[in-house]
Amino acid sequence: MSKSSNLFKSFIHCFSADKDHPCPPSSAFNILKYIGPGLLVTVGFIDPGNWASNLAAGASYGYALLWMVTLSTIMLIILQHNAAHLGIATGLCLAEATTLYVKKPYSLLLLLSVMGASISTSLAEILGGSIALNMLFHVPLRAGAVLVTLFTMIMLLSNTYRVIEKGIVALVSIIGLAFLYELSLVHIDWGQAAFGAFVPVFPQHAMVIIMSVLGAVVMPHNFFLHSEIIQSRHWNLESESVIKSQLKYEFMDTFVSMLIGWAINSAMIILAAATFFKTSTAVTELGQAQQLLVPLLGNNAAVVFAVALLLSGASSCVTSGMAAGSIYAGIFNEPYNVKDRHTRTGIVISLACAALIIFLITNPLNALIISQMVLSMQLPFTIFLQIYLTSSEKVMGKYKNGPWLKALLVTIGVIVTLLNVGLLISLFT
C-alpha cells in the first residue's frame, strides 16, 4: 500500500476516533484533534479589556510598551501549559484540585477571589460588546449590556462545549483577519516596533497601563478554564503513553494559540501607535477610537474595528462564563457541567453581577482598564496556588513539576508580584 494511502487512512481514523478507540499517538494528524482548548484561552486575552489596555498603551506611549505583551505571552505559555498539565495528569480542574488539596478556609477564600476576578473579566467582555453594538447600531450602552448578557447565557446554557469551541475558533480567525486588514492601511515603523517588542522600558506614569496589559494577557480565570476544557480530550487516561501524548500535543496547541494571541495583541498596540500616537491624538473612549479611524483610515476600517470588537466581546464573554461555571462548581468539588446547578449558578453570578455593575459606570474606557488592573492584582495568588498544586507529588504523582520548571514558575510568580508592588507604589506616590 502506498504511503499516501496510509496517510489518508490515518487521517480518517484520527477524525473518527473516540474515547473507546483512541487515535494512535503516532498519527501525523493527531495534533488536529487537540486544536481548540488553547484557542478558547486565546479568546480570553484578546477581549475588550485588552483592546482598551492596548489602545491606551499604543496611543499614549507608541511602540514602547510592546515588550509587556511579549513578556506576558512568554509567561502565559508556561503557566497555561502547567494548568493544562494539571487537568491531564489528575483529571481535575484547578478549582477542584484547590478544594481537595488546600485547607478549607484558604481554598474558599482563593476561589471566591477568582470568582471576583471572573466578574471583573465578564464586566470587560459585556461592556466591550455593548460598546460595539452602540458603534454599529446606536444601541444604548446599558441596553447593549443586557443583550450581550442574555446572548451569552443562552449560548452557555443551551449548547455543548464542542459546539461553542468550533464557533470560538471561527471568531478568533475573523478577529485576526480584521486586524491584518487594519494594519495594511497604516504606515508602520517596523524597526521601532521590533525594538519595543523586546526591550523593556518604563515610561513615566505608565505603570497602570503596564499592569493593565499584564492583567489583560495573563488572566487568572484562564488557568481554571484551561485545566477544565483540556479534559474534553480524554482518551483512555489509564494509559501512561496516552497521557504523555496528550501532554505533547497540548503544548503544541497552547504554544501556537498563545502566539496567535501575541500577534493580535501586538497588532492592537501597533495600530494605535501608527495612528493615534503618531498624530498626538488622545484616546479616551473605544467609541472615540472608532470615530478617529474614519478620517485616518476610512469608513471601512471603522466598521471592521467595530465588528471585530463585537465578535471579541461575544466570544470572550462565553469563555469568561465557562470559567466562572468551572470555578464555582469546583468549590463544591464538581466538574464543569451546564446541566448541574452549581455550574449554572457560577455562570449566572459572573454575568449578572458584571451586567449590574455596568449600570453604575460613567467612563467605559477607564472601567475596562481598571478591570484588567484588578485581574493583575489577583494574579499572584492564582499563580502561587497553581505552583503549589502542580509541584505536589500528592496531587500530581510522578507528573509533578521538576526542579527547573518549579524554579521557572516561581520566578514568574515573583516577577508578577513585584510588578504589582510597583503598581501600588505608583498609585500612592
pLDDT tens-place string over residues 203-222:
988 988 988 888 878 889 99
Residue with cell 503544548: 251
Q: Minimum mean pLDDT among 118-122, 231-235, 342-346, 419-423: which range?
A: 231-235
Given pLDDT bands bounded at 50, 70 and 90, which one contains residue 1? very low
Q: Please give the average per-residue pLDDT across 172-183, as a whole number.
A: 81
Predicted model pTM: 0.85
Q: Quick one: 35-390+402-427 is in which CATH superfamily? A: Amino acid/polyamine transporter I (1.20.1740.10)
Distance, CA of 51 to chain centre: 13
Question: Hey, which of 110-124, 165-179, 290-304 has the most confident mean pLDDT?
Answer: 110-124
Residue 9: pLDDT band with limits 50, 70, 90 = very low
Residue by residue, DSSP assigns 174-195 as HHHHHHHHHHHTS---HHHHHH
Residue 16: pLDDT over 70: no
pLDDT exceeds cutoff 60 at 25: no
The per-residue pLDDT for 330 is 96
* pLDDT given at position 232: 63
Residues 6+ away with beta carbon under 8 Å from 230: 37, 84, 87, 88, 250
pLDDT band, very low/low/confident/very high, at 224 (cuts 50, 70, 90) = very high
- Span 291-320, mean pLDDT? 80
Where do the domains of the chain lie? 35-390+402-427
Residues 141-146, mean pLDDT to the nearest whole number: 95
Cα(258)–Cα(46) distance, rounded to whole angstroms?
Answer: 10
Question: To the nearest whole number, what is the mean pLDDT of the chain?
Answer: 84
How many other CB atoms sit within 10 Å of the CB of residue 410? 15
Q: How far is CA 137 from CA 24, 129, 140, 143, 324, in A?
A: 50, 12, 9, 12, 30
- pLDDT tens-digit profile of 69-93? 999 999 999 999 999 999 988 989 9
- Buried residues in 69-93 as b, exposed as e (16+ CB within 10 A): bbbbbebbbbbbbbbbbbbbbbebb
Q: How far apart are CA 296 and CA 166, in angstroms?
A: 35
Higher pLDDT, 91 or 392: 392
